[in-house]
Structures are given as structure tokens and as C-alpha cells.
Structure 1
Amino acid sequence: MNNKINTKYLLLILFLFVSSALSAQTIVTGTVTDAGNKQPLPFVTVTFPGSTIGVNTNDQGQFSIRSSQPYTQLKASYLGYKDAIVQVTPGKQQVINIRMFPSAKSLTEVTVKGKKNARYTNKENPAVELIRKVIANKDKNRPEAYNFVEYKQYDKMQFSLSNLSEKITERKFFKKYNFLFENKDSVSYPGKSLLPIYLVEKLSQVYYRKSPEIKKEVPLGEKSVNFGPAVDNEGVGQYFKHLYADVDIYANSSYLLGRQFLSPIADAAPSYYKFFITDTITTADNKKLVQLSFTPRNTNDILFEGDIYITLDGNYAVQKAALTINKNINVNFVRMMHVDLSFEANPDGRYHLSRSNTFADFGITQKRKSGLFGVRTVTFANYVVNKQEPEFMYAPNMEVNDEVKHRSEEFWRENRLDTLTTAESKVYKNIDSLTHMPSFRRTADLVTLLLAGYKGFGKFEVGPASTFYSFNPIEGFRLRVGGRTTTELSKRYYFEGYGAYGFKDDRWKYFLAATYSLNSKSIYRFPQNYLRVSYQRDTKIPGQELQFIQEDNVLLSFKRGTNDKYLYNDQFKIDYVREFENHFSYKLGYRNWVQTPTGTLFPFVDNSNNIIYHLTTSEVSAGIRYAPNEQYYQGKMFRTPIINKYPIVSLDFTAGLKNFLGGEYNYQDIKARFDKRFYIAPFGFSDVTVEGSRIFGNVPYPLLNIHRANQTFAYVIDSYNLMNFLEFVSDRSASVNIDQHFGGFFFNKVPLLKRLKLRETASFKALWGGISTQNNPATNPETFQFPVNAAGAPITYTLGNTPYMEASVGVENIFKFIRLDVVKRLSYLDHPDIAKIGLRVKIKFDF
């Protein structure tokens, strides 16, 4: 009986306690709308000020928030709007609707008082006079003004799924991933509910010396999420950092999203920007700053808009900057990108960069709010100027050791120059748990097959899928299957190969290779250091230079014109490749090469009608390459350089050895190449390639420089797209290739083209060359005759005084990934079976 009474009392007490707690709760529901158009605002952050309690409005702008604490205010925050603060009654349930007002200044509507109908002008404009003083003082305000500079740098990059719909997370398929979906950040960026999925941190000590100039970054610690073998984590990090490159406001331009943005304090800035003095500010230490707002003169140009704060202490230095990329420019998938720069004073009164924060909102469309949100924050500390360190501190960087990549949690807690949000701190553990789930591994495996073309089986993977089927006039229907070993088998030894069969020529083709990595790194990663032995038996079009084991992509099977001159190639190769941290590399090689003509190329003959069935070459080679500051996106099939402003120079030498392992000719072949991307803000950029070659010795035409032709319908940057295979040969040549991308500079001025985000391209290619008398069958009857067509007319020529030239104009970014060029051939128009004009297409995803 007493137990029952006690139980009743306990239940009564519990009921009263819960009722009291509920009655004391502050519960607020309502709708957030735009004060101007009365439309609901989704994903607005609603919080109790001073607390960590917050929610986001739904698609209809509705919210519901509660707390047992006696808060008296409610705050609504959203990018592009002024914060709204309303009063609430503590301990009650209530309905409060909130109106928000836009905060962005429309600088294009600033009214300048004075003369009636006055227009903006640089003349006698105090804002322009001030910016010219900033420009004049740029050199002394940059770190490079000091003889020596050193500082500690902490670099944090994070990507999150943004405003993920609750409907997705509630689906049965995603229930097992609830531990991911619960780790949200709704406070850091108002209006954004962020679910972090990627995080990388890097701590470095940086040393700069002015003369001789060198900047050395010594890694102290590196840490990043790991998605497992299905994802190239290092390559993803490099690509993200490429999008979020360092913004140096004192440089004339900065590289973001694959484009060069003109700085608001560039030398030519007054010609491209409008400037307005909008405020004068006194800092906490009683220093005067001028707030200078700026906007592009032409809103379609690749420019920033925003505010910079200028010191009035005689240095005219930038003390703070808020830069937003102009929303009208032609950029794919980017809804918004913003850069905040903060500077601190040195002991000498000048300022150095103390913090850079770049964040961007990515999405397939502008209307949908969900997408990807990326943030890169770089923090600088322990800034020391004009302190000379011992000489060894300025020596070139050494390879990062494993200790740097496996620092303890204690190390990061003590050395981070910034803090992780609660959501960020859980990313490492969450992604590690995710990668151990079988369902995620299966999904990643499928995505890898679709995007990279390989199907993994642990220690071995099969692919690439694009080569499983192809066809050509010699082999007819061709099937191929191949694969390679992975690092799960060994980080030292790698094996790869394929087997293929042509149903028309009834022949097997194959490739086998064994590679030994001398630095215990994957042979697909920088810096490479490996020795490879390989043997290949396969078909080849003379003059079509493709990478090993990628010749038979099914898309290359479709060609224009006559395409029946092939070779059977048997190649035994030994290659050694060595890359250094400063991006200088060299390679050494040996090749024994047997060429057997087939199709209408069969057989080789000379002017005495001697028939030659095989051509055997034994040759050694050496090459050097220098690509300063080169970065890569390293995929499963090959690594792709991320093109930047730095030049790439290469020099290759090959020597044929007669009577060595069957070699039939002595010769020397020298090739040089120069590549450079030139940024011409705001007119886009131009990729320029200059090449030269020279062959010394008496050789038949298959060993001459058979110039790169293209008879497919694809636009190939490095080839001559209206030149036929085997059309031109030479033993000395020079060429220039200019590929200009305007980035929408002209199309953005046409409303319809601007809306479609189309971009203009133009290119020009010219090839000069010649052939010596000893290698010309017209003057040397002992060398091979040039090929002819079925009617006996020549199809292979030497270049005369006139260069081969072709030009194109095109449109890129069609459906965000197609480039279409109209190509016009400008010379040698009397050759038979040529295309004088053609339409070519190129597939490329870009921002």
C-alpha cells in the first residue's frame, strides 16, 4: 500500500515538474518575409542572441524555436539582409512574424550632388585621388618591401553540403547515415545550414628573402579527411585550393575560380572601377580609416565589388577589405563568392595580412538553395621582419615526412591559429565512420567506374572502360580488356597491361609493363621517381601521338575522310623518370621499335622499287622539363596539370643507334617546347605554345617529324584539326599555337547570350618547316617514297616557304561543358581530300 502511495506521489511530483518546465519554456513560431516584396525567405537563421540555440526557416519561410531560458529577444540573420531583432515574452508560446530589409548597397545608384545630371568621372574625384595614392604606395606596403620576412601560417579549407532538404535526410535509404546529417552548423553563415563533409588543415612556417628572392614554406603539420582508396584525397585538395587561390590585393590581379580578377588597387583600376568615399572610421586605437566603396564600370567584366579601408597615416595601406565577385560575370555553378581580408600593424607602422577568409556558395542552378558551400581561411601569426636566418633555412623544400602528416590531437590543439567549429571538429570521425560502411564503399566503387573508368578489386583494377570497344578500318570490330595493380598490392611494384583482338585482321594485340617506384610513392603522384620496362604490340596511325594504353578510346573511332594508313608497332621500352620538389624533372629511356606497314600504307618502297616490310629502330633518349609551381589533379587514369600563369619548358633529345639490337639508322632528334598561359584581365586568358624541332641524319619518312594531324570530329588543342594524317613531314620545323578564351567579355553585353552564359573563343595555329635533300625522296632515291592514294597522287608533302595555318572561332560553355569551333584552313588549299572548313566539338567541364 505504501509503495503504491509513494509511486502516486512520485508521479504527481514528476508531472508537476514537467508541467512547470513546459510552462516556463519560451516557444516562438512565425514566418520570415522580405519587407519589400512580402515573399517568404527560406533558410534564414533564427536564434536567441547570446546563445547557441538556432534554427533555419523552411522553404515557406516558417520557423519554430524554443528554450527554457528566459530570453527576451529573437534575431534573424540572412546574407544580403540586415539582421532583424524582435522582442519576445519569456516563458510563453507566441507567434511572431519577422520582416527583413536588404542590406546591400547598390553603388550603381549613388547620386553625386552638384551639377545637374552630373555623371561619374575620375577628374577631380577625391575617391579616385585617394585610390591613386594607394596605388603609388603599393610597393612599400607589400611584404616583399622587406629584405626578410617570416611568419607562421595556418590554412583551413572546408566544404559542406548546404541547406540540405529534410525530405532527403528522411528517406529510408539515408537512415543509416543519420550520424552525418545531425552534424549541422546553422550559425557560422546566416541563412546557411551547413553539413561539413571535407576538411583539410595545414600549419607552416614561411620564410621570405628578397635577394636572391626565394619564398620557402616549411610544413609543420597536415591533416585532412580521408575518403579511402576510391577517392584521390590529395588531388581533390589540390583542385579545391586551385579554386580558392591566395588573394593578394596588392597584386594587379588575383586568380579565383580559374579566372583572373583585376584588383581594385591595380595600376589600371581607375579605368575599370568606380570609387566612392562612403565613410570615415576611427579605430579603437584612435586611427583614421577611409571606407572606399567600389563597383565595376561594366558589370559584365571579371571584377570585384565591395569595400576597402585605407589608412590615413601617410602609408595609404589597406587595413581591411571585403571583396565580392561581380554576380553578373560568366561563371558556372557559383551563386556567390566573397573574400574578407584583415591586416595588422607591424612595429614600423606598416600593415601585414593577418587573416584571409574566402567563402563561396556553389549550386547547379541559381534558384535552388541547396548545394555546396566552401570556406578557406588562412591565418597569419608571429610576423617577423628583417631578421636574417641562417642560409640553410632558405634552401629548397624537402619532401614532407610522415610525421608532419600524423600529428597528435594535442599538437593541433596547441598550434591551431584558428578554432574549429563544433561541426568541423566532428568531420574527421564522421568521414572515417562513413568510409568503413559497405554501402558507401559500393557507391564509391560505382562512381569511380563511371567517372574514372576503372572497377576496383582491391589489389587490382580493370579498365579503362572507354577502351573496351572500338573500331577502325584495319582491325574492324575491336575488343580490349586490361587493368593494373594498386597500392594495396605494393607501393613499390606496379604491373599493368591489356589484351585486344581485331576481328577483321584476326590479330591479337597486347601491352605489358612492370614499374618499380624508387621513392615508395604511387607512380601516379608527384614527385615521380620510377623505372619502367614495357612491351607493346598494337596498331598506330603515323603521326597520331597518344598516351600509352589510351589509343583506342571508342570516341576516337569516328573520323572524317580516308583513314586506312596504319602501322603495326612492336615496341620494347625502358624508361626512368625523376621529378624534384622544385618541379624540375628529367627522363632517360631506351626503345627498340619495329614498324610494319599495313592497310594502303603497305609496303614501304624506295625510288628503286625495293620493298621494305619492316623498319627497325634502336634509340636512346633524354629529356628535361621545368614547370615551376605546377599543380595537378591526380585522377585514376592519369594526372592532369592545373594550368596556371607559370611557364612550362621542355627539351628532348633522341639518338638512333645503327647496328645496335637491329637498329638500321643513325640520327639525332632535338625537340623544344614552351607553354604559357597569359592572363589579360578583363579580356580572359590566352594559352600559347611554341615548339621547334630538328633532325640530323639520313632517315626515311616514318622517322621524320610527322606533324600532329586530327581527322576526328573532336577539337584537339595540340593538333592541326584540318590537317590529314601523314599530310606533312619535315626534319626541321617551328610552330606557334594561340588559344584565346574571352570568358564572355563580348557575349555578356548581349542579353540573351549573357543569360545562356556562353563564352567566346578564338585560336590560331601556324607551322613552318622544311626537309633536307638527303631525306627528300625527290632528291634522294635511296629513301622511302612518300605515300600516295589509290590513284597514285601524293598525299604526303613537305612544307615550303608558306606555313601551314588554320584559325577558328568558337563558343564554349554550351550546356556548361561543350565547346564548338568553326575551324578554317588558311593555306595549302589545293591538296586533295582535305577539309577547308569544319565544325569541331570539345568536351570540358569548367567554372
Structure 2
Amino acid sequence: MPTEKNRFYAKLLCARNLIFFLFVSGNSLAQETIVKGKVTDANSGDPIPFVNVIYQGTSIGTTSDFNGNYTIKTTTPGDTIVASYIGYNPRKKAVGKGGTQVVNFQLGEAATQLQEIVISAGENPAYEILRKVVRNKSKNDKRKLTAYEYDTYTKIEIDVDNITDKFRERKIIKKITQVLDSVERMAGEDGKPILPLFISESVSKFYYRDNPQLQFENILKSKINGVGVEDGTLVTQLVGSSFQEYNFYQNWLNIVTKEFVSPIADGWRLYYDYDLTDSVYIGDDYCYRLDFTPKSPQDLAFTGTIWITKESSALKQIDVTVNKQANLNFVEKIKVQQELEPTSEGAWLPVKTRVLIDVSELTNTSAGMLAKFYTSNKNFVVNKPREPVFYQHPIVMAEDARLNENEEHWDTLRHEPLSETERNVYKMIDTLQNIPIVKTYIDLAKIFVNGYFDAGKIYIGPYIGFVAANNLEGLRLQAGFKTSIDFSNKWVLRGQLGYGFKDEKLKYAASVQYIASREKWTTISLRTRSDIGRVGVDDETLADNYIFLAAQRWGNYRRGYYFDETRFNFQRELFKGFTQRFAVKRLTFQPEFEFGYTQPDDVNGDTLSNFQTSELIIESRYARDELFIQDDNERISLGAIKWPIITLRYTHGFKGIFGSDFDYTKWRLSIFKRIKFGPLGVAYLNTTGEYTMGSAAYPLLTPHLGNQSPFYTIITYNLMDYGEFVSDRYVSLQYQHHFEGFLLNRIPLMRKLKWRLVGSANVIYGSMSNANKKLIPLEADSDTPKYLPVGTFDRNKPYVELGYGVENIFRFIRVDFVHRLTYLDKTVNPDVRKFGVLVSFQFTL
């Protein structure tokens, strides 16, 4: 029989079990609340990563991921959640309790990006973290790897933003009202409408190796849709990941052609103020959060936040912004966000990068522009370099890259799915392209940018040479054409006809080019032409400066001449960076100024004026890291990155062949280099040396290019008269230094003007041999040249001109103050200019 005591314990046990059951059941049955959504920028529509989303007044919350998505799960919810992030105004939204809810935020930018940083007594705790970052760069920087490769997905979108009421009133904009109405709906409740113009996606395989530094991108698939974009072959090469490389372990980053100092540069303390604001787990990494601002707002530096891992002092995440206070033109804001992960070898590689460039409105009635870039990388393979020949071409596009598979196939290629807004962008661009007035404006814009009118299989132009006027020809009219890739991807035909109404002479040019290989760029061409020229203007050397050459057809032709020329040219890239060229040229020279010479072996000393020459040209050019892209049948250089461009040219004139009058040999070596000076800006150095053996009339030597106009030109000697000096052996140096905002940014009254200092130096050390001097006829019983005196250098005295000036005046104007330091004797040259104030116009960021 159970005792009373046993009954009591049994009841107590039952009560305990009942209480425990009710407690557990109550908790298990308590309803869980799930709130999820996306945080985007109200201006651009881009996702905002790293945003704090929490229940108001609690510590319950989370941080948005790189794509702006967040999820909060809790059994003790409040009724309001708050989204906040540095540089943005916080937003609150009401939420319910229980179930799953979607709450999206659109955050507007705050007036100021960071609160004032206050440093207490003692060392700033952020400093020791940054010192560790610098000490561990050799371990964490991806440049320590001998090689790496990965799969990459790139997405680019270009939009019109700041669509004001004044902008809407413009004639062309009224024609696209239907599209603008759709834009309003896409913007969302808090967002500002943007008008999409271009969107592209590409999937590539990217390869890099060190020693030698080589890279190669194989674009496997590309999808492009843009207003005015048709073929997309050129654009496809530009939208890959090769142009989206941002390594903050470098001291300086090149963005929109400008050099920005990294917040983890070796000299970080010179440029930034820092504040240690938080420590948090990001995935499995415990990280310190550091906020920073530039010491000088006008410097090319960032404002933002970095997350540094505690264990390895590596950069885990970064979010930086360049605001309109910086010394930049036409740019309202640049924003870069990046997330990195460690590789098996310890170095960290970026897995996701997002870049936004906000271009400001040029006038009150115009709109701005947004350029948005997103890159995702995965499947890393490190320290397995391939043979150098594998990297022969920096960018290669697969033959079927532009074959548009259906949307379902692209969903398997993308690293993340497109948002609903991005899918609508494709549809809106298609609508825009089919509006008649938009098509008309696109055609006009293409003519302006390309210089040619696209007539299908041929291009008509270039328009810049249609009209000219000078003292020899009077009014000159000209028309021309070249064939497109639709005509042939092997053959390129060009033709040009011009007529002068004063000299009543017809000028012409015709050429045919055969592209023998695109793999190792190989071309064979033949050209014939009859035209006018100026002594000292070498159109072969200045071929890339087509605006300068077109401008030479205007004004007074000092030392002008008529010529007939036939040229054969063969060119091939033998290996990466090394191009070999072979050419044969025949030229006749018929001067329109007082000119004379004597033949080297003419004992009678007869004075002649016309001559002919036949030349063989062999040229070797080496540019180790020059980047090329192919635009239909043309190959375009984007310049060298780190190494100089070296060109060696051999020219030999054969007397007696095709009536040639001279026998001579010329050797020329030129070196061009872009030099980065960090906080001191960037410089461009061009040095050339040439040596001529044998005798020839002075137009076949080197008449140094002077400038008697009021405009400054970087390729001329700006205080030298046209044809003032001629050499057959010389060494020259032309140096331009752009100081960006150095010094002027530190002067309070100058900061708002955003003027920039510039310096220049032009030096020639040269001479002319006695053999060539003897070919110039002299006045009777005098040492003075008979025809328009030709100046020559003293052997021990260089020509020197130094300049200094200010650029970026009203964003377009440059003023240079140039001093000529040598050859100032007015008895030799009564018109010598010792000092000049010259103006030029330029478009720079």
C-alpha cells in the first residue's frame, strides 16, 4: 500500500512534469517572426551591403549581405525595424508579429558621410591595426601568388539619372513619355527614377601569372543590350572583368584614369584619419571595423569603412566613396565595394566587387548619368602558372560568345539571378530603341563620335576633313570612305578625293589593306596618294594625332609642298608586345616656297628644287604590357600599363632607284613612358634619338616641329618657329608633369576652383653634319643660306624651353607660361620669342 508520503511525492512529480511540459510546449509553440528584404540606394537602385537592420531599441538584428539582402528571425519581435548605414539617412518601418514578411528599404544619402572623428589621449587604437595590415601585406596581397585563375561574371548598367522637370520638357524627352512612366513605377516608393540606356552581362575565364606579369581573359559568353549598340564585338571586349580590377593592397588605384590613394597604403597616416568603431563576426572571421576620412577633402582619396580580420590582419570587406569635393571633373561620386576571401595559399582574392560612377549634369536642363559595374568571381585555382605563350592575347572572345541563348540558359550561367528590376531594364531598352526620334539621335551621335557615317558596307567620312582653307588651296573640299567588316573581315579599302578652288588641283588617296592574321596581328597594305604637306610635319609619326593633322590643312602653309607618294607596308606581331614592320616608300617633293639644294657630287653646284626619294623602312616596336582590343577591322591600343614603349626604326634612302636623288641611312630610337608619382601626380616622358649617315636635302632630315600659333601643343616645341632648326643627329626630351591637386588643394581660396598645376620641359641637343650643310646654297660671297635661312644647333648648346601653368580652368582650359632659355640672339633671329603665354583646350576628369 502506498503511504501518504509516497502519494505526496507522486503528486509533486506529476506537477513538476506538467509544469515542464507546459513550459516547453509554450516555447515551442511561440510563433517565430521572420522579416526579410533588400536594402537599396534610393538614387541608383543599387544594393547596399553591410547595412545594420535591427529591431528598434534592441540588439536583435542582422547585416545585409553583398547583394543588400537581409533576414531576421526572432521569437521576441518588436513593432519597428531600423535600417542604418554610414553615409545614409536611417529609415524605420513598421512590422507585424508572427509569420514571414518582406520589408524593403531604399536609403537616401546623408548630407555628411561621417561624423567628426575625435581622438582621445593616447594613441588611436586604429593605428596598431593598420600597422599590422601593412606588415602582413606580403602574406595577404594577391600579388604574392605566382598565378591565379577563376570563373568570373560581370554585369554593367548605364542609366540616365537626375531626371528633372526641366529635363522632361526637352523635345526628345517628351517623345519617350511612356518609357518615363515605366521608370517611375520601377523606382519604388522612395527611389528616384533612372532611365536605362545600356546593360551587359559576360561570363569569362580569367588567368594571371607573375614573372613575367601576364594576364588573359577568355570571354565565353556575352549578352549586350543598349541604345545605339548593334554588333557589340568591341563592347564585349570592354565589359569583361579585365577592366574591373581593384586591388586595395596597392598604394595607388587607377580609377577613371586617375590615381587614388588606398586607405591601407604604406603611407596611410599621411592621407587619412581613422576611427575604430566596432568589432564583429563576418562569416567565420572576427573583424575590426574602421571608418576613415581623407585629411584633405580635395585629395584623390576615399571616405568609407574597412573590415580587417583579427587573425591575419587581412582586408575582409571594404566600402569606399569619392565625393564631389575631390578634385575631379564631371564626377559626382565614385563608390567601390568589395568582399574578399582567402585562398589556399593565404593570399586574399576578391569574390565580389561593385563600382558606381555618378556623372554630374553638365547644365541645369540636362540629366546626369550612372555607370554601375558588378563582378563576381569563383572557382579559384592558385599557383599553377601556364606557359607565357598561353597569355599571348590579353582579351579573346569566343566565336559563339555573342550568340544569344535564351533566358533559361543565361540563368544557369549567372552567379546570381537578375532582379526583377534588371529584367525590366532589358525590356525598357528594347522599347527605347524602337522610338523613331531616338534612332535619329543615335545616328547623329555615331557620326560625331566615330567621324564617319555608317552606310552599311562602307563608312563615309571622316567628317573632320570635309572642309579646310589655306593659302595654297584656298577653299578645300574633301570626301572619303572606308569599307566595314560587313564588306569583308580580311580586306579594307579606303579612298579620298579633295579639291582646292585656288590651285585648281585634285588631291587623292587610295589604299588597300589585307588582314592576314588576327591571332598574331598581321597586315599587308598598299597606298598611293597625291596631296600637299608642310616641311617638318611627319604624318607617319603623327598618325595617331588625326586632329592635329586635320588642323594642318588650315591657315598659312609656311614651307608647304606638293607630293606624290606610293607606299607598301607589312606588319606582324611576332610575339606578345613585339611588332615588326617592313615598308617601302617612294616620294616626290615639289616645293611651293623658296627652296634649293645642290647634289652631293655635283661639281658645278647647280641649284635644284624638286627631288625624289626611295626608302626602305624597318621598324621594331616593343611594348611589354600594352593592351589591345579589336574594333571590327581595326586594332586599338589602350596604352601600356607599367612598362615603356620602345621603338627602333631604320630608314635607308637608295639613290638611283625609281629616280631617287639621295643615298642616306637614318637610325631612330624612341622611348615613351607614363610615370606615376603618387601624391605628386603623373608624368609623360618621350625621349628620342636619331642619327643620319650620308647626305640629303634638309626636308629629308629632321626639321623640328615648331609652333607659331597662340595654342599650346604637347607634341611641338612651342617657342620655336616653324622650320627654325634642322638636325641630322639629335637627342630630344619632351616631358609633361600633371600635379593634379598637389599644392593648390592646400590653398583655401583655390580649393573650390579645382585648378591643377602642370609643368613641361622640351630639350633638344643636336647638330648637322658639314656634308649636309654644303647642300644648302649660300648667297654669293656669304655664309648666309640663300633660301629661307635654315637654323642649325651649336654642338655644345641645346635648345631648351621650360613651362609651367594651370589646367582645369572652367574644367576645359589650360594656360601655359613658357620660357625659351637658349638661342635668344635677335641678330640671328629678329623674331625670337623668349616668353609666351599659350592656351589650350582639353577634356579631362
- Quickly name the TM-score band, shorter chain normalised: 0.7 to 0.9
Q: Give the one of 322, 333, 336 matched to 1:325.
A: 322
Q: Secondary structure at the match of 2:678?
A: coil
| Structure-to-structure mapping, 1:580-595, within 5 angstroms | 582-595=576-589
Q: Give the one of 624, 627, 630 matched to 1:630.
A: 627
CA contact (8 A) 2:167 2:367 kept: no
| Structure-to-structure mapping, 1:245-260, within 5 angstroms | 245-260=244-259
Match of 1:575 in 2: 569
> Which one-letter code corresponds to 1:619 in the other structure?
E
CA contact (8 A) 1:701 1:786 kept: no
> Which one-letter code corresponds to 2:693 in the other structure?
F
Separation of aligned partners in 2, 1:316 and 1:444: 51
Separation of aligned partners in 2, 1:478 and 1:316: 68
**1:690 maps to 2:684:** no
Change (3 A) 1:635 1:735: farther
217-226 or 545-554: bigger deviation: 545-554
| Structure-to-structure mapping, 1:261-340, within 5 angstroms | 261-285=260-284, 287-313=285-311, 315-340=312-337
Match of 2:753 in 1: 756
Separation of aligned partners in 1, 2:107 and 2:231: 46
Q: Secondary structure at the match of 1:501?
A: strand
Change (3 A) 1:210 1:749: closer
CA contact (8 A) 1:45 1:191 kept: no
Change (3 A) 1:657 1:432: farther
Match of 2:206 in 1: 206
Separation of aligned partners in 1, 2:420 and 2:325: 35
CA contact (8 A) 1:512 1:535 kept: yes
Q: Secondary structure at the match of 1:302?
A: coil
568-577 or 433-442: bigger deviation: 433-442
Separation of aligned partners in 2, 1:636 and 1:821: 39
CA contact (8 A) 1:671 1:693 kept: yes
Deviation at 1:77, TM superposition (A): 9.2
> Which one-letter code corresponds to 2:814 in the other structure?
R
Deviation at 1:316, TM superposition (A): 0.9
Deviation at 1:397, TM superposition (A): 5.8
260-269 or 626-635: bigger deviation: 626-635
Separation of aligned partners in 2, 1:203 and 1:45: 21
CA contact (8 A) 2:596 2:607 kept: no
Q: Secondary structure at the match of 1:478?
A: strand
> Which one-letter code corresponds to 2:199 in the other structure?
L
Q: Give the one of 611, 615, 618 matched to 2:607.
A: 611
**1:342 maps to 2:328:** no
Separation of aligned partners in 1, 2:206 and 2:243: 19
Match of 1:723 in 2: 720
Separation of aligned partners in 1, 2:107 and 2:387: 62
| Structure-to-structure mapping, 1:403-442, within 5 angstroms | 403-406=400-403, 408-409=405-406, 410-428=408-426, 430-431=428-429, 434-435=432-433, 438-442=436-440
Match of 2:591 in 1: 597
| Structure-to-structure mapping, 1:146-295, within 5 angstroms | 146-165=145-164, 173-174=172-173, 177=176, 180-181=179-180, 182=182, 191-210=191-210, 214-225=214-225, 227=227, 233=232, 245-285=244-284, 287-295=285-293
567-576 or 414-423: bigger deviation: 414-423
Deviation at 1:172, TM superposition (A): 7.4
Match of 2:463 in 1: 465
Change (3 A) 1:349 1:563: closer
TM-score by length of 1: 0.79
Change (3 A) 1:615 1:103: closer
Deviation at 1:655, TM superposition (A): 1.6
Q: Give the one of 688, 697, 708 matched to 2:705.
A: 708
Match of 2:789 in 1: 794
Separation of aligned partners in 1, 2:237 and 2:395: 19
Change (3 A) 1:679 1:699: same
CA contact (8 A) 2:727 2:768 kept: yes
Q: Secondary structure at the match of 2:264?
A: coil
Match of 1:544 in 2: 537
Q: Give the one of 372, 397, 401 matched to 1:400.
A: 397
Match of 1:145 in 2: 144
CA contact (8 A) 1:634 1:640 kept: no
Q: Give the one of 525, 531, 535 matched to 1:532.
A: 525
Separation of aligned partners in 1, 2:527 and 2:45: 60
Separation of aligned partners in 2, 1:537 and 1:372: 46
CA contact (8 A) 1:773 1:780 kept: no
CA contact (8 A) 1:480 1:499 kept: yes
Deviation at 1:213, TM superposition (A): 5.1
CA contact (8 A) 2:815 2:840 kept: yes
Separation of aligned partners in 1, 2:651 and 2:172: 58
Q: Secondary structure at the match of 2:397?
A: coil
Change (3 A) 1:386 1:800: closer
CA contact (8 A) 1:656 1:667 kept: yes
RMSD across aligned C-alpha pairs, in angstroms?
A: 4.2
| Structure-to-structure mapping, 1:638-649, within 5 angstroms | 641=638, 644-649=641-646
Separation of aligned partners in 2, 1:660 and 1:479: 35
Match of 2:516 in 1: 518
**1:382 maps to 2:379:** yes
Separation of aligned partners in 2, 1:482 and 1:394: 38
Match of 1:826 in 2: 821
Deviation at 1:809, TM superposition (A): 1.6
Match of 2:23 in 1: none
761-770 or 435-444: bigger deviation: 435-444
Deviation at 1:131, TM superposition (A): 0.8
Taking every aligned residue pair, what percent have the same amino acid on both sides? 29
Separation of aligned partners in 1, 2:775 and 2:166: 76
Change (3 A) 1:492 1:389: closer
Match of 2:117 in 1: 110
Separation of aligned partners in 1, 2:639 and 2:244: 12
CA distances 1:531-581 after superposition (whole Å, capped 9, x unpaired): 22211111111111235695896744666xx85322211101112233478
> Which one-letter code corresponds to 2:359 in the other structure?
F
CA contact (8 A) 1:558 1:713 kept: no
> Which one-letter code corresponds to 2:535 in the other structure?
P
> Which one-letter code corresponds to 2:361 in the other structure?
I
Deviation at 1:256, TM superposition (A): 0.6
Match of 1:662 in 2: 659
Count of residues in correspondence between the two structures: 756
Deviation at 1:83, TM superposition (A): 2.8
Deviation at 1:165, TM superposition (A): 3.8
Q: Where do 5+ consecutive residues of structure 2 fail to align?
A: 1-41, 54-78, 98-105
341-350 or 687-696: bigger deviation: 341-350
Separation of aligned partners in 2, 1:44 and 1:319: 25
241-250 or 567-576: bigger deviation: 241-250
> Which one-letter code corresponds to 2:513 in the other structure?
T
Separation of aligned partners in 2, 1:478 and 1:378: 51
Match of 2:736 in 1: 739
| Structure-to-structure mapping, 1:559-574, within 5 angstroms | 564-574=558-568
**1:806 maps to 2:813:** no
Change (3 A) 1:387 1:242: closer
Match of 1:68 in 2: none
Match of 2:442 in 1: 444
Change (3 A) 1:396 1:518: closer
Deviation at 1:617, TM superposition (A): 0.8
> Which one-letter code corresponds to 2:90 in the other structure?
D
Separation of aligned partners in 2, 1:483 and 1:538: 17
CA contact (8 A) 1:556 1:712 kept: no
507-516 or 640-649: bigger deviation: 640-649
Separation of aligned partners in 2, 1:731 and 1:678: 30
CA distances 1:599-649 after superposition (whole Å, capped 9, x unpaired): 233677889551223211111212222332335797999957457544222
Separation of aligned partners in 1, 2:756 and 2:95: 52
Q: Secondary structure at the match of 1:250?
A: coil
CA contact (8 A) 2:573 2:579 kept: yes
